[in-house]
């Protein structure tokens, strides 16, 4: 099957690259485990990013680290509004520059931020930030989403290095923040001038290629009540109870949006492409007082063809119309603040040269054909595809329970994906000896 690999790769070299990945795999998993040990939640990514920057410098790469500057990106159409401090929102970029450019340039992107782990006593296999290997699985928060992918990017290059080769094109290794909440980290890299002929993001996609994904909106809904003593509860208005009616209204709207799926290419056959979620809720001040306020943090998907501004207005207009007859909310409508993802989805056009190269590399690494699918989740690939006109290949290992308890990633799948990325780099970028011949 290796005859389908582009001409720089002979069957013999393909086998050598995959063996080199295997030879370095124990070290790769140790490195990935080290990353898992950092609780790199939003706003706490800096220690993990500084560890990674130091590691990449030791590997011989020039490294740039910079804090995401909201002033530089807030006027860009891909910007997501934020209400948090960015002083520790550190991006890391390592760059390989060849002696002679012969191939096509590449960005190897991954995100360091992870989602909150929930109550630790509800993790059964191990605490969330203590990586543990059981059979074919590596457990730990962020292992699948997506520190295993960051490791795959780096160790694909290391596999080539062990054979005495380096890419014959410029390669940027990016580790970004804010993928789980805004996408502003990847956007900031683009604004700083980092582009290439293609990009790979090894997100946990079960060894498949993402063909299209949804955009995402984050918003806060503030419901105001009328507080009274609980003995007079019937004369007040309970903001927490009123919030339930807001949720039901948004669920009705979500079903209307799902009914539009036939109008959107690649989404026609998905059962439920538009998902709405209330991720956080808080309210009230005192058990014996009718709550004066309730605040909800919400997320909803949009189609790739949608303008976030248009869908945001639809949400505001829908609630105003749907709740106009509510005895309380009709006179005191909920207030919406846009406070995170304000991001379009994307479609990866079929049969690009980059996709063909990945398909061939995947075939050699797995002995299977590459398949594609559509996901209703957010991906940073939208930054590259929409705003840089770059093919971005989102393709990564088999995982289980990402964003849940006992998140885990398949070790054998990590190795296969790392091999495919190494083969892709060799074919896309070309290879040159690490030291020049004399």
Q: Which residue has the tokens 């890419």?
A: 167
Burial tier of 26 (Cβ tally within 10 Å: 0-12, 13-18, 19+): exposed
What's the pLDDT score for residue 228? 56
Q: Which two tokens stand for residue 276?
A: 């709405």
Q: Which two tokens stand for residue 58?
A: 């030791």
Q: Which residue has the tokens 């990674």?
A: 52
Nearest to 183 by CA among 399, 386, 418: 386
Q: What is the per-residue pLDDT across 265-305, written as a single tens digit (0 to 9) for each?
A: 999 999 999 999 999 999 999 998 889 999 999 999 999 99
Nearest to 21 by CA among 412, 429, 430: 412
| Residue 115 DSSP class | -
Query: Is 261 in a helix, a strand, or coil?
Result: helix
User: Architecture of domain 215-343 in CATH?
Assistant: 2-Layer Sandwich (3.30)
Q: What is the per-residue pLDDT across 366-391, written as a single tens digit (0 to 9) for each?
A: 999 999 999 999 999 999 999 999 99
What's the pLDDT score for residue 232? 55
What is the CATH topology of the domain spanning 2-211+346-433?
A: Aminopeptidase (3.40.630)
Q: Which two tokens stand for residue 48?
A: 């993990």
Nearest to 181 by CA among 343, 36, 306: 343
Domain ranges of the chain: 2-211+346-433, 215-343
One pLDDT digit (tens) per residue for the chain, 438 residues: 333 444 568 999 999 999 999 999 999 999 999 999 999 999 999 999 999 999 999 999 999 999 999 999 999 999 999 989 999 999 999 999 999 999 999 999 999 999 999 999 999 999 999 999 999 999 999 999 999 999 999 999 999 999 999 999 999 999 999 999 999 999 999 999 999 999 999 999 999 999 999 999 999 999 997 755 555 556 568 899 999 999 999 999 999 999 999 999 999 999 999 999 999 999 999 998 889 999 999 999 999 999 999 999 999 999 999 999 988 888 889 999 999 999 999 999 999 999 999 999 999 999 999 999 999 999 999 999 999 999 999 999 999 999 999 999 999 999 999 999 999 999 999 999 998 653
Q: Checking phi first, is residue 430 left (phi over 0); if not, alpha (psi -120 to 50) or beta?
A: left
Question: Distance (Å, rounded) from C-alpha 95 to C-alpha 262?
Answer: 43
Instruction: Examine residue 168 and say whether the peptide bond preceding it is cis (omega within 30 degrees of 0).
Output: no
What's the pLDDT score for residue 239? 93
Predicted TM-score (pTM) of this structure: 0.94
Q: What is the per-residue pLDDT across 96-151, written as a single tens digit (0 to 9) for each?
A: 999 999 999 999 999 999 999 999 999 999 999 999 999 999 999 999 999 999 99
Q: Which two tokens stand for residue 62?
A: 């020039």
């Amino acid at each position: 099957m290796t005859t389908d690999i582009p001409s720089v790769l002979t069957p013999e070299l393909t086998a050598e690259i995959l063996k080199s990945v295997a030879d370095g795999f124990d070290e790769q998993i140790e490195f990935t485990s080290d990353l898992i040990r950092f609780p790199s939640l939003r706003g706490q990514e800096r220690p993990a990013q500084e560890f990674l920057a130091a590691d990449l410098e030791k590997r011989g790469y020039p490294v740039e680290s910079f804090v995401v500057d909201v002033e530089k990106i807030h006027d860009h159409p891909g910007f997501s509004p934020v209400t948090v401090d960015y002083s520790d929102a550190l991006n890391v970029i390592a760059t390989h520059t060849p002696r002679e450019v012969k191939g096509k340039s590449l960005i190897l992107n991954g995100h360091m931020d992870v989602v909150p782990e929930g109550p630790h006593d509800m993790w059964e296999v191990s605490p969330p930030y203590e990586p543990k290997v059981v059979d074919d699985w590596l457990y730990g928060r962020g292992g699948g989403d997506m520190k295993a992918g960051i490791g795959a990017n780096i160790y694909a290059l290391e596999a080539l290095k062990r054979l005495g080769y380096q890419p014959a094109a410029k390669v940027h290794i990016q580790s970004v923040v804010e993928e789980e909440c805004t996408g502003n980290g990847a956007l900031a890299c683009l604004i700083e001038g980092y582009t290439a002929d293609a990009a790979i993001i090894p997100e946990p996609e079960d060894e498949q290629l993402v063909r299209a994904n949804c955009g995402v909106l984050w918003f806060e809904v503030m419901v105001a009540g009328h507080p009274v003593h609980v003995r007079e509860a019937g004369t007040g208005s309970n903001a927490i109870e009123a919030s339930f009616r807001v949720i039901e209204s948004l669920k009705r709207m979500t079903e209307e949006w799902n009914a539009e799926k036939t109008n959107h290419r690649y989404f026609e056959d998905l059962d439920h492409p538009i998902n709405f979620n209330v991720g956080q809720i808080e309210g009230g001040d005192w058990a014996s007082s009718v709550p004066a306020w309730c605040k909800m943090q919400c997320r909803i998907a949009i189609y790739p063809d949608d303008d976030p501004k248009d869908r945001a207005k639809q949400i505001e207009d829908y609630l105003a119309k749907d709740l106009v007859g509510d005895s309380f909310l009709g006179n005191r409508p909920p207030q919406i603040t846009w406070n995170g993802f304000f991001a379009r989805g994307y479609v990866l056009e079929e049969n690009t040269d980059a996709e063909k190269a990945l398909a061939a590399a995947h075939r050699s690494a797995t002995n299977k054909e590459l398949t594609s699918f559509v996901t209703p989740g957010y991906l940073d690939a939208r930054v590259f595809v929409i705003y840089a006109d770059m093919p971005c290949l989102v393709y990564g290992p088999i995982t289980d329970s990402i964003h849940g308890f006992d998140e885990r990633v398949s070790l054998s799948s990590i190795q296969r994906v790392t091999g495919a990325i190494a083969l892709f780099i060799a074919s896309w970028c070309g290879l040159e000896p690490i030291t020049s011949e004399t």
